[in-house]
Amino acid sequence: MRTTAQWIVVWLAVGFATEALAQVPYQRLKNSDREPDNWLIYGGNYGSQRFAGLTQITPENVASLRVAWAYQLRGGGVMESSPIIVDGILYVTEPPSNVTALDARTGKPLWHFVPPVPRDFVPVGLFPTNRGVAVLDDKVILATIDDHLLALDAKSGIVRWNSLIADKADGYAITQAPLAINGKIVVGVGGGEAGAHGFLSCFDAKDGKLLWKTYTVPRSATDPGADTWANGSWSNGGGTTWNTGSYDPDLNLIYWGTGNPAPDWNGEGRMGDNLFTCSLLALDADTGQMKWYFQFSPHETHDWDSSEPPILFDATVEGRPRKLVALANRNAFYYVLDRTNGEFLTGVPFAKQTWAKGLDPKGRPIKMPAEQIEPSVEGTLVYPTLTGAINWTSPCYSPLTGLFYVNARDAGAWYVKGERKMAPGNSVGIVGGGGGGGRWGPADETTTSIRALVATTGEKKWEYRMVGDSWTGTLVTAGGLVFSADAAGNFFALDAQTGQPLWHLLLGAAVRSNPVTYAVDGKQFVVDSAGNTLFAFSLP
Amino acid sequence: MIFVRSLCGLLVLAALSQSRFAARQQGPPPGSPAPSQTSPADKLTPDDIATGQQLYAANCASCHGVDATGQLGPNLRGVVQRRGEQGVFGIVRNGMGGMPPVMSINDQRVWQVIGYLRTLGESGSKEAPTGDPAHGKAVYEAHGCATCHTIGTEGGSVGPPLTAIGRSRAPKYLSGFLLDPGKNPPSDMTLPERAMNTGYLLVHVVTKDGREMTAIRVNEDTFTITLRDVAGHFYTYDKNTLKAIEPEPGKSVMPSYGNLSATDRNDLVAYLASLKGTE
């Protein structure tokens, strides 16, 4: 029996240990690759590589992987969250914008936070969900569906500050995980289907004060890019920044993708390239100033946002060491750029596409004739489909194999052109971006495949074909495994070198999230959600 | 074990998916028409209706067809008249059968869509059946259709129930289906995340030890495929044990009724078109 005094000592010791461990200074985030036991950043590291240095689970033993624990959502809905794990505590989000801290060993809840989202608020054009949080110092940072940025105490979930990112009345809604950098929180917005004007904003991590805000589409006729929108059509908006980007601490540049111009499927009223929609932007982290941009899909008319996670890596290209950024685009092309200046290096299709003959030497698409690809009243069959060759889920990159692993969708859709009505000022935009929509492509054709691409060239090394329309990201480990899931909810492990399937388990519902891995007390866990349940797997 | 004969409840449910629209009507939301009262749809302006049309194109047309006559999901022409504004609102918000709840548009926009649907009228087709439904019923009974199909509570389960077939299928479709059942089959809605797939698809499988089977696909994922024979037995195969998996689009377990006289077929179509459910 311990005495009361002994218990207090134990309690204090645990308390102080938690105090010390709960601190995630910027240096830990910057050097996150040095502590593979934790998953500190949405994309695994600042390069969004989703590569984990853990080696306990291997191709030789993965067949004995089993469920260690499961956590079910308290509310309804489907979990799309990519958890953050810090020193044995796992932070996961639930629809619409709730946060739960779990004991990463057992899955038992430690605290649960529900922000006061108005019950009657329904965002336009997107499902109210949340894809994760950021951590910095002693705070967990959450962006809510109704556009608040909240800093929560990492130990209790108590709100430390609350800032407004945007006004939901203007069509803005947020589902992404913020990105924490040195003393700052960077966060984008969704709402391109509501005519919202995209922007990226940066807040002081101490108190939530706005530091800078950079719009991605012109706000006046004299703004950069305004001449690429005929007749002032920039006022329609678009170019939202709805998926989490990446960061290069050495270059101090933030890399963030932008979404479609508005209205989506009818470009007649917005002739021109519509800058800076469907682009990758490189912004100075201190000022928000644009260092360079690369537009993947000029004058986009199929809802192929360029919001996919940009993966940063370094490699030698034609004998020269380069700092690179790779992006598997919703438009079905895989791009490699020089991330110091945006120079286009390579671009090849990674999924079925019928809209472009190829890319020119600058990376600009050489489109097929308009009558073959533009949405029409009766519908035009074009590949990829409405949801794209990839959507918000994350690919991954292994520095050990030099491969880029992407869940690629091969499917088409009949694209339909409608009226191009958008409300001036865009406060009451038309859902779906207006201007049309789409219908499913031919029956039985939709397949998804895990494709391993040589990261520097996009050359396909192997592929693993799945049945159906999978919406799961990929994870690659130093143990030599790639994790993902098929549409039915089979969570599986592939050999990272060959793509051979090594293990799978049917989880009973679609897996719509990105798998992550971590270790506690020397035991490696892999977690992913299926339906409303988060599953953690480990070796026996 | 490669020839697993499985009759688990889950698969039975999956196999009966085509009847989910009928089977899952519990509780008030996706149910019967609301009592007559002022509906938010009554207050809509022509601009609202036009907006509703755009909302429909962007959010609904991919499953219910650009002209709302049905594709992956059922024909929505006349759905407001049949189920009432509140009934449709409940379906949109709560989902139904293979349709997930739609939460990406706000209440006002749902009402705009309902207002638009209300303008579309009762039928997906202006075509009206011309045959004699009473004689068509006799044709139905004489040719053993009930062996495979259920109307109301009576009949077989090989094919989809026909209790409300007149609501979701136009006479022209029914007539064409009787001639060539494999040509334009219904969609498989058991797993919406699998995207659009053919329902009642015949699949021929050959096991590595040489056994063969052709039956209706009721479920398939990356690792397994489950077939159902006409006797209602389920067969789940680990794909590793199969030498060949050959879908047979264009074929159907249902025979062609091209041998019916034009009058009999026309009357049978009129009977089927008259089946509007039991509510």
Q: Does B245 touch chain A (CB under 8 A)?
A: no
Domains and CATH numbers, chain A: 40-538 (2.140.10.10)
Provide the 8-state DSSP code for B140: H
Which residues, 6+ apart, have CB-to-CB distance to A38 below 8 Å?
Answer: A32, A85, A86, A87, A518
Find residues 156-185 of chain B whose CB sits inside 8 Å of chain A: none
Positive or negative torsion for Cα A402, A406, A411, A415: negative
Superfamily of domain covering B133-179+255-273: Cytochrome c-like domain (1.10.760.10)
Which residues, 6+ apart, have CB-to-CB distance to A155 below 8 Å?
Answer: A18, A19, A22, A111, A138
DSSP secondary structure, B163-176, as one string: TTHHHHS-HHHHHH
Q: What is the pLDDT of residues B131-156, one digit of tens each?
A: 999 999 999 999 999 999 999 999 99
The whole-number average pLDDT for the span A81-104 is: 96
**Quick one: pLDDT band at residue B97, thresholds 50, 70, 90?**
low
Lowest mean pLDDT among A21-25, A148-152, A442-446: A21-25
Counting every residue written for chain B, the total comes to 279
Q: Does B231 touch chain A (CB under 8 A)?
A: no
Q: What is the pLDDT of residues A5-36, one digit of tens each?
A: 554 444 444 444 444 444 899 999 999 999 99
Q: Among B58, B71, B220, whose Cβ lies nearest the Cβ of A467?
A: B220
Kindly tell me if the per-residue pLDDT of B68 is higher than 80: yes
**Spans of all domains in chain B:** 4-13+186-247, 31-118, 133-179+255-273
Kindly tell me if the per-residue pLDDT of B2 is higher than 60: no
Phi, psi of B242 (to 5 degrees): -105, 140
Q: What is the pLDDT of residues B205-244, one digit of tens each?
A: 999 999 999 999 988 999 999 999 999 999 999 999 999 9
DSSP secondary structure, A37-61, as one string: T-B-STTSSTT---EE---SS-TTT
Return the pLDDT at A419.
62
**CA separation, residue A536 to residues A94, A491, A512, A527 (Å):** 16, 11, 15, 4
> What is the distance between the alpha carbons of residues B189 and B186, in angstroms, rounded to a whole number?
9
SS (H, E, C) B234-266: EEEEEHHHEEEEEECCCCCCCCCCCCCCHHHHH
Fold for the domain defined by B31-118:
Cytochrome Bc1 Complex; Chain D, domain 2 (1.10.760)
Residues of A taking part in catalysis? 303
Kindly tell me if the per-residue pLDDT of B15 is higher than 50: no
Which residues, 6+ apart, have CB-to-CB distance to A532 below 8 Å?
Answer: A72, A73, A76, A77, A78, A79, A509
Q: What is the CATH number of domain B4-13+186-247?
A: 2.30.30.100
Provide the 8-state DSSP code for A124: S
Q: Among B107, B222, B247, whose Cβ lies nearest the Cβ of A490?
A: B222
Q: Does B247 touch chain A (CB under 8 A)?
A: yes
Kindly tell me if the per-residue pLDDT of A535 is higher than 70: yes
Q: Which of A78, A97, A122 to mutate to test the interface with B (most CBs of B within 10 A)?
A: A122
Using a CB-CB cut-off of 8 Å, the residues of chain B touching A439 are 61-62, 65-66, 71
Kindly tell me if the per-residue pLDDT of B29 is higher than 50: no
Q: Among B53, B55, B196, whose Cβ lies nearest the Cβ of A440?
A: B196
Using a CB-CB cut-off of 8 Å, the residues of chain B touching A510 are 193
Kindly tell me if the per-residue pLDDT of B117 is higher than 70: yes
ipTM over 0.90: no
Find residues 189-208 of chain A whose CB sits inside 8 Å of chain B: 193
Positive or negative torsion for Cα A24, A27, A33, A34: negative
Q: Does B195 touch chain A (CB under 8 A)?
A: yes
Q: What is the pLDDT of residues A157-177, one digit of tens each?
A: 999 999 999 998 888 999 999
Return the pLDDT at B189.
57
- For chain A, give the mean pLDDT: 91
**Quick one: pLDDT band at residue A436, thresholds 50, 70, 90?**
low
pTM score: 0.86
Chain B nearest CA to A413, separation (Å): 9
Provide the 8-state DSSP code for B276: -
Provide the 8-state DSSP code for A173: B
Kindly tell me if the per-residue pLDDT of B18 is higher than 50: no
Return the pLDDT at B125.
53
Using a CB-CB cut-off of 8 Å, the residues of chain B touching A434 are 54, 58
Return the pLDDT at B120.
81
- For chain B, give the mean pLDDT: 79
Chain A nearest CA to B107, separation (Å): 8
Q: Do domains B4-13+186-247 and B31-118 have the same CATH topology?
A: no
Tokens of A29: 């985030």
**Quick one: pLDDT band at residue A434, thresholds 50, 70, 90?**
low
Kindly tell me if the per-residue pLDDT of A435 is higher than 50: yes
Return the pLDDT at B37.
54
pLDDT-above-90 percentage for chain A: 80
